[in-house]
Amino acid sequence: MGDTRQLSKLIPPKSVDIVYTSPPYFDCLDYTSYYTRIVHHVFENDFERIKTGLIQNRATYEQDMITCLTEIEKVTTDDAIIIFVVVACPQ
């Protein structure tokens, strides 16, 4: 388990051929809700505290996404296939 912002510490450079990812969507998806919330309840986690540490932070979101994309670029081959799942969020 790791953090995409630190991929190059976990995966050798230019070694990945395919990336399939669903990046966090700021103010759109709550990654502590739905099925994940059940797990948090079982382990008695404070999901409100967990939410504050997620990448979905207005102050750091843009830089975190740039860091993620830079790390993906470091570990993927020159002809890698990179698929981003994009969700349209209601305003």
CA angle centred on 65, ends 24 and 43, rounded to 5°: 40
**Spatial CB neighbours of 78, under 8 Å, sequence gap ≥ 6:** 14
Q: What mean pLDDT do residues 10-37 have?
A: 78
pLDDT band at 78 (very low <50, low <70, confident <90, very high): very high
pLDDT band at 42 (very low <50, low <70, confident <90, very high): confident
pTM (2 d.p.) = 0.66
Rg (CA), the chain: 15
